[in-house]
Structure formats: structure tokens, C-alpha cells
Structure 1
Amino acid sequence: MNKFFLTVHILAAILCVGPVTVATSMFPSIAKRALTSENTENSQNADAGGLQVLHRITNVYAWASLAVPVFGFALAGSMDMMGEAWLIISIVLTLAAALVLAFLIGPAQASVLAGVGGTTEERSAVLSKAKLLSMTSGIFALLWLVVLVLMVVKPGHHRG
């Protein structure tokens, strides 16, 4: 059963967390372009459409990525590893990444989407959120990178 839990855990991390991380990192640059340029209407529509797709990917795959900790907990429980320091740190960092996504990235993306089609004043009002998204999406990706390293290296792990 451990191999099943491990397989689903890794597969969910690749297929769910990966797309969320890519979508959140792509969103800020397209948002800044959409909010600052005086492009043609077709170009603005393309940017707005791209932002909607990235926001949708972020939301849908964020929910799907809940499978990662679910199967991770199942695996850790079946292997009696819940007390390992690297695992506890990974759990805390995963929770931090989820909170960054839910309370910083998601709402900021929604605000930017609401302002993209607006007037120049409305677009400039949400430009700061688009700029802040570059940092928060970088923090989100960095948290996942540290979790990945901890999962591979397992510092202080006492089993083979």
C-alpha cells in the first residue's frame, strides 16, 4: 500500500502543484503588460483571456493539489514517520504555501482580473497588486522548492 500512496503523492505533486506554480509565476508579467500598455483592443482582450485562463488554472489545480498532503499523510502514517523533523518542517511549509496561495495570490489575481478591463485609473489602481504578485508567486514557488528538497534529501532520516 505504501507504494500506491507514494505513487499518488508524487503524481499529484507533479500534475497539480506544478501547474499552479507555473500559472502563478506567469500571471504577474501578463498582468503588468495588460495594465500598463495602451494596446489595441484585440491585444487587451488576449491579455485578459490569458489572465482568466491562468487564474482558472490556479484555482482548479489548487483544489486538486489537496491530494498531495492527503496521500502524503497516508504514506507517512503507514510508514510510522510522522515524528521526523524533515516531515514536520515540510508540513509547515506546505501549509504556508497553501496560505500564501489562498490569501495572497488568489485574491490579488481576482482583483487584477477585475481591473484589467477598466479605465486607466482603475487599471493603475490594481497595478501595485500585479507587481506584488511577482513577489508572492516567487515565495510560493520557493516554499515548494524547499519542500521538494526536504522530501528528497530527508535530513536526519533514520531509515534506509
Structure 2
Amino acid sequence: MKAVLLSVHVVLAIILIGPLTAAASLFPRYAREAVAAGQDHTGPYSVLQALHRISTGYAVAGVAVPVFGIGTASAMGVLGDYWIWVSMALTLVGAALLAWAVVPAQRRIMELLQTPGGTDSVPALLPRLGMVTGLFGLVWAIIVVLMIVRPGSSTGV
């Protein structure tokens, strides 16, 4: 059962968190292109719509990753290990960044791009969004390292 839970947890992380992180990271680049394209709602704007849809949809589905992670940790008897708790805290940080910074900024940028004259405001929002999406990706990278190294574990490196 442990192997099944671990497999589902890892597969879900790869299938959901990976594309979510990539979509969030690509959004600022295509927002710059959409600003350059002006009111043309094809091309870069269509890509932005897809990236935003991935960011929101995969975020909801991504809740399954920590659920299976907690189940896996419990089955393996490591739920009390500090690296699990650090990973869970970082997961909450990543979720908070996504819910309260990344997705709202994406939504605001898309609204501005549809508003006449709104494209003038978008470039000011992009550096912060780029920074937050970078932090979001860094959080997941740290979690992956914790999952592999498992500090203090008898099987840790």
C-alpha cells in the first residue's frame, strides 16, 4: 500500500504541480508579448488565457498532491519527522503564493489587457508577478529536495 500511495503522490506531483509551475512562470513573458500586440486578442492573449486556465485548474486539482503526501507519510510512519512538517509548511506557502498573489495578478493583467488603455498599467505589474512566480517555483524545488534527501531519516542521503 505504501508503494501505491507514494507512486500516486509522485505521479500527481509531476502531472499537476510541474505544469502549474511552468504555466505560472510563463505567464509574465506572454503578458509582455500581449502588451506589445495591443488589442489583438489572438496570439499572445490566447496563450495567456490558456496559461491562466492551467494555473487555476491545476491548482484546484493539485490539492490531491498534499492529500496523498500526508497519506503516504502516515503509511510510512514518518508523519512526525520534521522534514515532513517543513514540506507541509512550504506547501502552504506555495498554495498561499498561488492563491493570493499569482492567480489574482494573472486575473488583473487579463482584465487590464481587455480594457482600453489598460495595457499601459500591465508592465508595472510584471516584475512583481515574475518575482512571485519565481518564489513559487523555488518553494516546489525545495520540497522536492526535502522529499529526496529526507534529513534525519534512516534512508536520507
| Same structural fold, with TM-score higher than 0.5 when normalized by the shorter chain | yes
Does 2:64 correspond to 1:64? Answer: no
Once the two structures are TM-superposed, the CA of residue 104 in structure 1 deviates from its matched residue by 0.2
- Does 1:123 find its partner at 2:122? no
Deviation at 1:119, TM superposition (A): 2.3
Structure 1: distance between partners of 2:152 and 2:103: 35
Question: Which runs of no fewer than 5 residues in structure 1 stay unpaired?
Answer: none
Query: Judging changes above 3 Å, is the alpha-carbon distance between structure 1 residues 146 and 40 closer, same or farther for their aligned structure 2 residues?
Result: closer
**Contact (CA 8 Å) 2:39, 2:114: kept in 1 or not?**
no
1:100-111 aligned at under 5 Å gives the runs: 100-111=97-108
Aligned to 1:17: 17
CA distance in 1, matches of 2:155, 2:132: 36
Contact kept in structure 1, 2:24 and 2:133, CA below 8 Å: yes
| Partner Cα distance (1:66, 1:27) in 2 | 21
Once the two structures are superposed, the pairs formed by residues 1-150 of structure 1 within 5 Å of their partners are 1-35=1-35, 37=36, 39=37, 42=40, 44-120=41-117, 122-150=118-146
Is the CA contact 1:109–1:130 (under 8 Å) kept in the aligned structure 2? Answer: no
| Distance of 2:144 and 2:80 partners within structure 1 | 18
Alpha-carbon distance in structure 2 between the residues aligned to 1:151 and 1:159? 11
Letter in 1 for 2:110: L
- Cα distance, 1:41 vs structure 2: 5.3
Asked whether the equivalents of residues 76 and 82 of structure 1 are also in contact (C-alpha less than 8 Å), the reply is yes
Which segments of 5 or more consecutive residues in structure 2 lack a partner in the other structure? Answer: none
Give deviations 1:90-147, integer Å, cap 9, x for gaps. Answer: 1100110000000000000000001112223x22223322221110100000000000
Q: Does residue 152 in structure 1 map to residue 148 in structure 2?
A: yes
Q: CA deviation at 1:159?
A: 4.9
TM-score normalised by L of structure 1: 0.91
Which whole-Å CA distance do the structure 1 matches of 2:127 and 2:12 have between them? Answer: 30
- 1:123 partner letter: T
Superposed CA offset, 1:6-45 (max 9, x none):
010000000000010000000001112222x2x3755x52
How many pairs does the alignment contain?
156
Whichever residue aligns with residue 107 of structure 2, its letter is: A
